[in-house]
């Protein structure tokens, strides 16, 4: 592991933070810790981590608000670590911009695997070459060569996962991609609940890309099968 790979853990459980720092330092990472959301935001500015693992249940500035504020300034991957395992909490975390969600208590091996997979996908994404010209409509531009998306001329801030998902759709504009195809191409995995996994990301993309997210014209649903990005010049 590249020792320059920086991980930021934000959790009010001091014993857990100490254990995570020790464990990931042994694995060759450069771990940093913050016990409050406010401190986590200060560390974001100072450290510029490669990944953030964030607890939801913290006093004062909770994990949800911390996640939202991180997303306002960075596309860094975020893993939610929380004892709250209800579906609504998972969906809330993903809608706020998290890339993954792991319920407490968790094994360090599973957390290792999640972090390694996210960082590997990010490296592969950064090294990949997306074929085809830019996707351009009257109000939307998707430029795979520069990893840039603009709506009405304004640059759109997307997370790494949102951008990977959108680029796959743009690469196949006009074609329907199944939930499993999108899951495999974006996350590199299969899941019988692929549709539920992808839904929050599609919701977030529509909030950012569509003039009226409740009546999308770009990112279209094919019920029971998947999604497609409307071909430029027509649906």
What pLDDT digit, counting tens, does each position of 127-166 carry? 454 455 467 888 888 887 667 888 988 889 888 788 889 9
DSSP, res 173: T
Provide the whole-model pTM: 0.60
Assigned token pair, 206: 């529509």
From CA 91, how far away is CA 147, in angstroms rounded?
Answer: 26
Q: Provide the pLDDT confidence category of residue 232 given band limits of 50, 70 and 90.
A: confident
To the nearest whole number, what is the mean pLDDT of the chain? Answer: 84
Q: How far is CA 91 from CA 109, 196, 208, 222, in A?
A: 24, 9, 17, 21
- Residue 229: pLDDT band with limits 50, 70, 90: very high
The 3-state DSSP class for residue 86 equals coil
- Element housing 111 (H / E): helix 108-127
Can you give the pLDDT at residue 145? Answer: 66
Residue 197 bridge partners (DSSP): none
Q: What is the pLDDT of residue 87?
A: 64
- DSSP SS3 for 37: helix
Q: Are 44 and 74 a contacting pair, CB within 8 Å? A: yes
Phi, psi of 154 (to 5 degrees): -95, 135
- Helix (H) / strand (E) containing 230: none
CA–CA distance, 7 with 75 (Å, rounded to integer): 14
Distances (CA, A) of 167 to 7, 162, 191: 26, 9, 21
Contact by Cβ (8 Å): 158, 149: yes
Average pLDDT for 37-46: 91
Indicate the range of 75-89, 116-130, 176-190, 208-222 predicted with least confidence.
116-130
* Mean pLDDT calculated for residue range 118-134: 62
Please tell me the distance from the alpha carbon of residue 218 to that of residue 97, in angstroms, as a whole number.
21
Report all structural domains of the chain as residue ranges with CATH numbers, in order of start.
6-127 (3.40.50.2300), 135-229 (1.10.10.10)
Tens-place pLDDT, residues 97-106: 788 888 888 8
pLDDT at 22: 95
CA separation for the pair 52, 71 (Å, rounded): 11
What is the structure's pLDDT at 127? 47
Q: Tell me what the mean pLDDT of segment 12-38 comes to.
A: 94
In this prediction, residues 52-66 reach a mean pLDDT of 86
Cα–Cα nearest to 126, from 143, 98, 145: 145
Look at 56-60, 128-132, 219-223 and tell me which has the smallest mean pLDDT. Answer: 128-132
Give the DSSP letter string of 147-166. TEEEETTEEP---HHHHHHH
- d(Cα 138, Cα 204) in Å, to the nearest integer? 21
Q: What is the pLDDT of residue 3?
A: 58
Beta carbons of 129 and 44 less than 8 angstroms apart: no
Residue 174 to residue 169: CA distance in whole angstroms = 9
What pLDDT was estimated at residue 129? 47
Give Cα 153 distance to the centre of its chain. 24
């Amino acid at each position: 592991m590249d020792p320059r790979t920086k991980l930021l853990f934000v959790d009010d459980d001091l014993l857990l933070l100490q254990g995570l720092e020790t464990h990931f330092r042994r694995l060759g990472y450069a771990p940093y810790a913050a016990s409050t959301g406010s401190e986590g935001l200060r560390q974001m500015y100072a450290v510029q981590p490669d990944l953030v693992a964030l607890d939801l249940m913290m006093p004062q500035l909770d994990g949800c608000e911390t996640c939202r504020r991180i997303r306002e300034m960075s596309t860094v991957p975020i893993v939610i670590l929380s004892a709250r395992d209800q579906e609504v909490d998972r969906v809330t975390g993903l809608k706020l911009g998290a890339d993954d969600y792991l319920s407490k208590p968790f094994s360090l091996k599973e957390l290792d695997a999640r972090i390694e997979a996210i960082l590997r996908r990010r490296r592969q994404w950064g090294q990949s070459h997306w074929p085809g010209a830019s996707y351009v409509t009257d109000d939307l531009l998707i430029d795979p060569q520069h990893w840039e998306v603009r709506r009405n001329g304004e640059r759109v801030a997307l997370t790494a996962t949102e951008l990977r998902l959108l680029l796959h759709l743009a690469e196949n504009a006009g074609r329907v991609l199944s939930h499993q195809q999108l899951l495999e191409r974006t996350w590199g995995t299969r899941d019988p609940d692929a549709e539920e996994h992808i839904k929050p990301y599609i919701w977030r993309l529509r909030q950012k890309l569509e003039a009226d997210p409740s009546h999308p014209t770009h990112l279209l649903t094919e019920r029971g099968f998947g999604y497609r990005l409307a071909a430029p010049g027509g649906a």
